[in-house]
Amino acid sequence: MAASSELPHDDRGPVVLATHWFLTILATIFLALRLYCKRITRLSLWWDDCILIAAWFAILGTDSLTTVLVTEFKLGRHSWDLEISNLSKFIIIISSRATLTITSMGWTKTAFAVTLLRLTTGKTKIFVWFIIISLNITTAVSAAVPWIQCEQLEKNWDSSATGSCWAPGVGTKVWIGLGAYSALMDFTLAALPWTFLYHMRLKKSERVGIMVAMSMGILAGAVAIAKCVALPRLGAGDQYNEIELFIWDVTESAVTMMAACIPTLRVLVRRIKPSRPPNMGDNATGSPRR
């Protein structure tokens, strides 16, 4: 290794924290506006709302653990500048963060799919159920990867413990495969509304507006692809080169949450700029009155 004075000493920790908390604030605003729209339209919270709230707590947990990693272990710096006095603690925190991040991604996508359940019928509804079930299975497997790579649980964070583990890189390959499937589901969920909303009895401008709003999941799919591209850098050497992944994963969770909230926010747009009430009422947002 080169002399310390010749090595770079960049620090992207502040960027990581700023990105995490800024995106979380944005996601919080969108979620709060969604809940506000439910209140002003006197609609009760449904399963999709509850799932989004749970996902928000998972994102908040991700941010909190990331803050600990940056402030205590100096995550964001090169490997030779990290301050890891307790390796086991570092691994447990970073693994817990991965689990929370993956869980929040899966739940935000699930929430949007659950919203579609109220707008679909027949084979389309069955297909949405397939997406929900498969997404949660892949999410559960992906979230468990940091904890199931070794025969003995303790071996995952303590190399001195007995037992064997997966070959290096296997966990990353599993994440890439499951991440690619998640991206595919993002694009599928974004395309589905166009198959049935186009034929609803609405003004053309309002119908197109709803379809575009419900298709914002395309952004989440694009982020998911970017994350898959960054995944091979895990364990590839310098910790500094993995920081991009920390940014992309929280971006996917936050963007997916905002995309899931956007269709409901049309209530605010209609209040600011009144338009002729649609024949189908509030069902256009998948929120039937109770």
Residue in 220, 215, 223, 167 with CA at minimum distance from that of residue 194: 215
CATH code for the domain of 194: 1.20.1070
Q: State the DSSP code for 276.
A: P
Show the domain range for 267: 12-158+167-276
Write down the pTM of the prediction.
Answer: 0.82
In a domain, 290, yes or no: no
Residue 96, pLDDT above cutoff 60 = yes
Residue in 13, 118, 9, 24 with CA at minimum distance from that of residue 63: 24
Q: How many domains, in total, are found in the chain?
A: 1
Residue in 282, 120, 266 with CA at minimum distance from that of residue 199: 120
Residue corresponding to tokens 């090595």 = 7
CA–CA gap between residue 42 and residue 34 (Å, rounded):
12
Amino acid in the structure at residue 127:
F
In a domain, 135, yes or no: yes
Give residue-wise pLDDT tens across range 50-78. Answer: 999 999 999 999 999 999 999 999 988 88
Q: State the DSSP code for 216.
A: T
Q: Provide the pLDDT for residue 288.
A: 44
Q: Provide the pLDDT for residue 39.
A: 83
Mean residue pLDDT across the chain: 82
- Percent of the chain at pLDDT > 90 equals 36
**Per the structure block, which two tokens stand in for 147?**
């904890």
Sign of the CA dihedral running 55, 234, 178, 95: negative
Cβ-proximal residues to 106 (8 Å cutoff; 6+ apart), any chain: 135, 136, 138, 139, 140, 142, 143, 182
**Per the structure block, which two tokens stand in for 253?**
């969770």
Over residues 144-158, the mean pLDDT reads 91
CA–CA gap between residue 90 and residue 93 (Å, rounded):
5
Q: How many CB atoms lie within 10 A of CB 16?
A: 21
Sign of the CA dihedral running 104, 193, 45, 257: positive
